Chains A and B, each alone.
Chain A
Amino acid sequence: MQLYYHFGVISALLLTKTNNHIFLRLSTDNSALCRKNLAAAGPEKFTAEFIQKQIEEFNIGKRHLANIMGEDPENFSQEDIDRSIAYLFPSGLFEKKARPLMKHPDEIFPMQRAVQWGKDRRPFHFLFYTGKQSYYSLMHELYGKMLNIEKHQDRLRSKGLFSKDGHKISLGMSRWLTKEELEALLVENISTHDYNRFIQIMERLLSMPYCNIEEEFVLRFRHLLQTQSRHQMVSALQKDENGVAFSSAEGCRKTSHSTVVLRDCGSGRLSVNGQDSLLYFPVLQDREQLMFPMQFTGTLGRFDLECTVSGGGRSSQAGALRLAISRALLSFLSPSEREMMRQAGLLTPDPRVRERKKPGQEGARRKFTWKKR
């Protein structure tokens, strides 16, 4: 029999006379030709009944969870759910999205288009046959609004009240929705060309006088910019029993956290964690960091500081304290001085943290020694 082996398996099968049935296994059974192209099928489609079932299961599960935690099932909010899950299933995983999660199915399963036609197979939307029904219905609505504005202008012209600089929309700090946001709003894919056209026509609408009648429609597609509002958070100025004004603030840097109470006594004393600053920070650099905000504003001898700090090393503790002192100082200063402090960078928390070590490398960036052979 050994003589036959080198002819291959098939020939060996053919040569065996004992077999009446020769089963030739299809050579392409598990090859690339037979395997299903799972990637080309597109994202998984969820039916409406499936989502409905998931929502029911979620609501029942929510009530069970409330009973487990001994809380009221009727008023169990999402924050309570998150807290309970974090308590019952503690996870040390770094990636927040990999931890156990219990959220409403609408947030987990992406929004998908339901079937677009009814029982008699007539489509619901009147622009269904264009292919991009939501986008084109939006354009149709937009054009309708422009015609509306022009009619309004004609009416004013007939009364003689038309002026070219009449009533435009005040945009304030806002920007147009990005292409992704618009796609999420319309639940439909849009091409860049379509998006640019949409923005172009919206700009044209805004340039027309008396467009304030369609303000609500336009603002639906504008997103408020929120970056300006953060540095306005000034801690309140409180009064002591003796009538001394004081304010408190917090600060962090790397892994250190600190709290500072700034009293308007006029002494200029510094105590850190109960100790004098000279004892706690022997190094001059750290003490300079503490003094810098007050030296910058020229209030060195005016305030009395009571600080507490924990975590991190000496330099990061000093940085945390500096941020906390600057924040506490805000309530004693005028807006122009506050702007000066912000521009000096005293109010910006330092975002640098320790970078993690990666596998296959010795440190965060340092690679293992490369040996040619």
Chain B
Amino acid sequence: MRKLNFVCILTDFFCLLKTFGISLKCLATVMSNWKIRDLLSLGLLGLRHSRGVLTKYSSAGQTVSAAASVSSPQLQPNDAAEKILNLPLEKPDFFRVAELFSLKDLFDARVHLGHKKGCRHRLMEPYLYGCRLDQDIFDLDQTVEHLQRALNFTAHIAYRGGIILFVSRRRQFGHLVESTAKDCGEYAHTRYWQGGLLTNANIQYGPGVRLPDLIIFLSTLNNVFQQHVGVRDAAKMNIPTVGVVDSNCNPCLVTYPVPGNDDTPVAMELYCRLFKMTINRAKDKRRQVELLYGLNAPSPSNS
């Protein structure tokens, strides 16, 4: 049955291509630049709910400005609340996260060091600069780009008052991660992950619980060198994830992967510091903007 479905999907695929006059090569370039999720939402590929073919997200992401244009056009913002929410979307790097770190900082924190060649995951090969004496080295240019995107995304989520959950199963850094979360005013989970935490939330926590809006994985592997259950569960519950992926990790299901080292204490401290600074910055900005708009438009908004 599975093979038949595959064949059906492929035939649909080719029919569509013919109707739109798009060649496969053209389509491949388009796919490499756009996220599959957004393509599906646009209805460009009107395929049936794909099962095996298109579940893997391509690793290249988008800039934030493109995301703003892809989402549905906003009405003329008369409401102060709408103005507050749309303010950060006017500029590409509204929170200036690029100023928080430089390539040299990443190099000094030994973020470019990966695991040995034998531990390498096939899907991490695009992010590697090379291999020296059997040890994989990350391409820090790509890392800088990915990290900027990830920090920008967390800043936007924090600005909108979203719940951010820090997850890491490394026992060395559990305390550090929990303290970081406490200092930001966000949440952490560095303990044993019970099966139904995200998928069975109403029964685990009580009815009406609010799930996290972003999950940040400071290490995507658990203590048995398997992918953390949270990555898969977040994908199931449509929760975006930011994850530090090492050379032995699978970057597929992570929305904003950050290829880099997750074993050295210096690197972990750097990541925690960066995330804490972005979240605090975003929250402070939100408070500033609310005060500003509160002073400008004191009249109550009519819904």
Interface segment out of the listed A128-136, A252-260, A322-330, A335-343: A128-136
A-B contact pairs, 22 of them (CB 8 A): A117-B209, A117-B210, A120-B161, A121-B208, A121-B210, A123-B163, A123-B209, A126-B178, A126-B181, A126-B182, A126-B185, A126-B188, A128-B187, A128-B205, A129-B165, A129-B188, A129-B189, A129-B197, A129-B212, A131-B204, A132-B191, A140-B178
Q: Once the chains bind, are A116 and B163 in contact (CB under 8 Å)?
A: no
Interface string of A108-149 (1 = CB under 8 A from B): 000000011100111100111111100010001001100100
Interface membership of B186, Cβ < 8 A: yes
By secondary structure, the B interface counts as loop
Question: Is B300 part of the contact surface with A, judged by Cβ < 8 Å?
Answer: no
A123 engages B175 (CB within 8 Å): no
B contact residues, total (Cβ < 8 Å): 23
Among A126, A128, A131, A144, max chain B CB count under 10 A is at A126
Interface residue tally on A, bucketed by range: 10 to 19
A29 to B86, CA, bound (A): 58
Residues of B within 8 A of A127 (CB): 178, 187-189
Query: CB-defined interface of B188-213 with A at 8 Å, one 1/0 digit per residue?
Result: 11010010010000001110111010
Q: How far is the CA of A123 from the CA of B208 in the complex (A)?
A: 11
Q: Is A116 touching B205 in the complex (CB atoms < 8 A)? A: yes
How would residues 149 to 182 of chain B score, 1 for a CB under 8 Å from any chain A CB and 0 otherwise? Answer: 0000000000001010100000000110010011
**Chain B residues in contact with chain A, CB under 8 A?**
161, 163, 165, 174-175, 178, 181-182, 185-189, 191, 194, 197, 204-206, 208-210, 212
Residues of A with C-beta under 8 A to B204: 131
Residue of A with least CB distance to B161: A120
Residue of A with least CB distance to B185: A126
CB pair B187–A143 under 8 Å, yes or no, is no
User: Which of B182, B187, B208 makes the CB contact (< 8 A) with A129?
Assistant: B187
Within 8 Å by CB of A131, from B186, B188, B197, B208, lies: B197
Instruction: Determine the distance from Cα of A157 to Cα of B35 in the docked complex, in whole angstroms.
Output: 56
Q: Write out the residue numbers on chain B whose beta carbons fall within 8 Å of the beta carbon of A140.
A: 175, 178
The docked-state distance in angstroms from the alpha carbon of A138 to that of B206 is 22
Q: Given the complex of chains A and B, what is the CA–CA distance between A130 and B174 in angstroms?
A: 13
List B contacts of A126 (CB < 8 A).
Answer: 178, 181-182, 185-188
Contacts of A130 in B (CB 8 A): 189, 191
Which of B163, B175, B178, B181 is close to A122, meaning CB atoms less than 8 Å apart?
Answer: B163
Bound-state CA distance A131–B189 (Å) is: 9
